[in-house]
């Protein structure tokens, strides 16, 4: 029986299981194919760990967050830790092993569900002859060639709910509350959750901020009788005069830099300059957890069923994407040509400015 393999790699997000379900059910129902799931991302391909997925395995998982297959953001077959030199890991190319193990699964194609890092690996595997179909996943929404990645809407919903809760305590204590959200080097999550949560100031990497402008805005609000402010900060935001703040380096990862901590820096500066009391909440991995929103379940189902159809028809080297209302395909190579950043003239920035939100810029 013909087979398809699925790998979920990189940081998890709500909706991955909905994609797995859609791929598997489409392949089983419409093409009478079998499905194998690679365990723990590309690590499973390197270590030859995978299992057959039955119809029952993928039934009832549309609502579940995370991934039933497990994932890893530290297992790049093209740069894999193969030993130690002193304290430091030494890296080597084990992609031939990964490809040999892929062949052992008996699958005719690999559906790679992941973000920027995963899609880079998928493209390199494709260039070495593995028939790959990509499915764009990430709460960061930073993948090119698709209007949106699945997982983003769920993360926006979670962050918005958190900002709503911060609002009430901010009001009671008359504080300036900083909420740091994820998003890596782009500001989509901060922008959408910031607007949805009625943030007074939103700081995104695409618009390096001026701390004095933020201070002026919260003082102005206070003078007008609004004795609290909400500042939504993307983890990748930075002052025009400063740098991004790095929390840690994960050398084995496709992108070793882990951001975090910028909100603490700004809050400290704002308290010093305004004498208003500040507090910081870092939402962290909460944003990647929980059940997907209805939007993400629908998008994941559309992406997954389309990916299975393409794989069954022998297509390869392409990624499914959303353009307007349509599911389309694009070369994976185009999707990894850069990061999808928030354009400074994005209509949501314009709308936010219209309702009085500051981006901390002149
Ligand atoms: O890419 C998804 C993401 O959650 C980013 O928003 C964040 O910067 C990063 O992953 C965190 O990675 P980790 O799970 O390794 O801490």
CATH number assigned to the domain comprising residue 181: 3.40.50.460
Q: Are residues 59 and 110 in the same domain?
A: yes
pLDDT of 1 higher than 90: no
Q: Are residues 131 and 80 in the same domain?
A: yes
pLDDT band at 123 (very low <50, low <70, confident <90, very high): very high
Q: CB of 33 within 8 A of CB of 2? A: yes
Residue 259 Cβ inside 6 Å of ligand 1? The answer reads yes
Q: CB of 271 within 8 A of CB of 277? A: yes
Residue 229 Cβ inside 6 Å of ligand 1? The answer reads no
Gap from CA of 158 to ligand 1 centroid (Å): 15
| DSSP SS3 for 302 | helix
pLDDT band at 166 (very low <50, low <70, confident <90, very high): very high
Among 11, 251, 283, name the best residue to mutate to test ligand 1's pocket (greatest count of ligand atoms within 8 A of Cβ).
Answer: 11
| Total length of the chain | 362
Gap from CA of 362 to ligand 1 centroid (Å): 30
Residue 199 Cβ inside 6 Å of ligand 1? The answer reads no
Among 13, 76, 182, 249, name the best residue to mutate to test ligand 1's pocket (greatest count of ligand atoms within 8 A of Cβ).
Answer: 182
Active site annotation includes 140: yes
What share of the chain has pLDDT > 70, as a percent?
A: 100
Q: Are residues 180 and 309 in the same domain?
A: no
Residue 71 Cβ inside 6 Å of ligand 1? The answer reads no
Q: Are residues 179 and 258 in the same domain?
A: yes
Q: Are residues 261 and 350 in the same domain?
A: yes
Gap from CA of 285 to ligand 1 centroid (Å): 8
Spatial separation of the C-alpha atoms in residues 295 and 148, rounded to whole Å: 11
Q: CB of 241 within 8 A of CB of 229? A: no
CA distances to 120, 182, 208, 239 from 213, in Å: 39, 23, 12, 11
* Dihedrals phi, psi of 201, to nearest 5 degrees: -135, 135
Gap from CA of 270 to ligand 1 centroid (Å): 27
Domain count, the chain: 2
Question: For 220-236, how does the pLDDT look when each residue is reduced to its tens digit (9 = 90+)?
Answer: 999 999 989 999 999 99
Question: For 340-355, how does the pLDDT look when each residue is reduced to its tens digit (9 = 90+)?
Answer: 999 999 999 999 999 9
Q: Are residues 192 and 282 in the same domain?
A: yes
Q: Are residues 160 and 305 in the same domain?
A: no
How many of the other CB atoms lie within 10 Å of CB of 324?
A: 6
Q: Which of 5, 53, 40, 61 is nearest to 291 (CA)?
A: 61
Q: In the prediction, which pLDDT does 89 show? A: 87
Q: Are residues 170 and 142 in the same domain?
A: no
Spatial separation of the C-alpha atoms in residues 244 and 255, rounded to whole Å: 15
Which residues face 38 on adjacent strands?
50
Q: Are residues 163 and 237 in the same domain?
A: yes
Question: For 140-163, how does the pLDDT look when each residue is reduced to its tens digit (9 = 90+)?
Answer: 999 999 999 999 999 999 999 999
Task: Confirm whether pTM is higher than 0.85.
Answer: yes
Q: CB of 24 within 8 A of CB of 35? A: yes
Task: Catalytic residue, from 12, 40, 116, 140: name it.
Answer: 140
Tokens (6 digits) for 232: 């939504």
Q: CB of 176 within 8 A of CB of 276? A: yes
> 124: Cβ–Cβ under 8 A, 6 or more apart, which residues?
78, 95
Which domain, by its residues, includes 20? 3-150+290-335
Per the prediction, the chain carries an average pLDDT of: 97
CA distances to 179, 224, 228, 233 from 199, in Å: 9, 17, 11, 10
What share of the chain has pLDDT > 90, as a percent?
A: 96
In a domain, 113, yes or no: yes
In a domain, 359, yes or no: no
- Residue 16 vs residue 255, higher pLDDT: 16
In a domain, 135, yes or no: yes
* Dihedrals phi, psi of 37, to nearest 5 degrees: -105, 125
Q: CB of 53 within 8 A of CB of 26? A: no
Rounded mean pLDDT, 243-263: 94
Start-to-end C-alpha separation, the chain: 63
CA distances to 198, 204, 251 from 133, in Å: 38, 32, 27
Atom of ligand 1 nearest to the CA of 189: 6
Question: For 288-330, how does the pLDDT look when each residue is reduced to its tens digit (9 = 90+)?
Answer: 999 999 999 999 999 999 999 999 999 999 999 999 999 999 9
Residue 183 Cβ inside 6 Å of ligand 1? The answer reads yes
How many of the other CB atoms lie within 10 Å of CB of 311?
A: 28
In a domain, 361, yes or no: no
In a domain, 224, yes or no: yes
Spatial separation of the C-alpha atoms in residues 308 and 143, rounded to whole Å: 20
In a domain, 261, yes or no: yes
């Amino acid at each position: 029986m013909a087979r398809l393999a699925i790998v979920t790699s990189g940081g998890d997000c709500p909706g991955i299981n909905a994609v797995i379900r859609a791929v598997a059910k489409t392949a089983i129902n419409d093409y009478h194919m079998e499905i194998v799931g690679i365990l723990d991302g590309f690590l499973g391909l390197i270590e030859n760990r995978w299992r057959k997925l039955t119809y029952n395995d993928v039934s009832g998982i549309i609502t579940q967050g995370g991934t039933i297959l497990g994932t890893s953001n530290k297992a790049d077959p093209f740069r894999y830790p193969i030993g130690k030199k002193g304290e430091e890991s030494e890296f080597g190319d084990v992609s031939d092993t990964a490809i040999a193990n892929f062949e052992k699964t008996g699958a005719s194609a690999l559906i790679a569900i992941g973000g920027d890092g995963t899609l880079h690996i998928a493209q390199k595997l494709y260039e070495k002859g593995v028939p790959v179909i990509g499915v764009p996943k990430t709460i960061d929404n930073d993948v090119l060639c698709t209007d949106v990645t699945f997982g983003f809407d769920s993360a926006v919903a979670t962050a918005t709910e958190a900002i709503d809760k911060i609002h009430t305590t901010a009001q009671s204590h008359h504080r300036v509350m900083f909420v740091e959200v994820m998003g890596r080097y782009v500001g989509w999550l901060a922008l959408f959750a910031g607007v949805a949560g009625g943030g007074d100031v939103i700081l995104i990497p695409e618009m390096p901020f001026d701390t004095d402008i933020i201070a002026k805005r919260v003082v102005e609000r206070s003078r007008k009788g609004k004795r609290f402010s909400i500042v939504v900060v993307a983890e990748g935001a930075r002052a025009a005069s400063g740098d991004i703040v790095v929390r840690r380096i994960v050398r084995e990862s496709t992108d070793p830099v882990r951001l975090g901590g910028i909100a603490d820096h700004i809050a400290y500066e704002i308290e010093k300059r305004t004498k208003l009391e500040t507090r910081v909440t870092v939402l962290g991995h909460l944003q990647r957890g929980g059940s997907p929103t209805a939007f993400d379940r629908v998008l994941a189902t559309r992406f997954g069923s389309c990916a299975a159809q393409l794989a069954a028809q022998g297509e390869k080297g392409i990624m499914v994407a959303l353009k307007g209302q349509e599911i389309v395909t694009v070369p994976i190579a185009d999707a990894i040509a850069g990061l999808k950043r928030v354009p400074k003239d994005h209509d949501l920035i314009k709308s936010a400015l219209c309702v009085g939100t500051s981006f901390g810029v002149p």
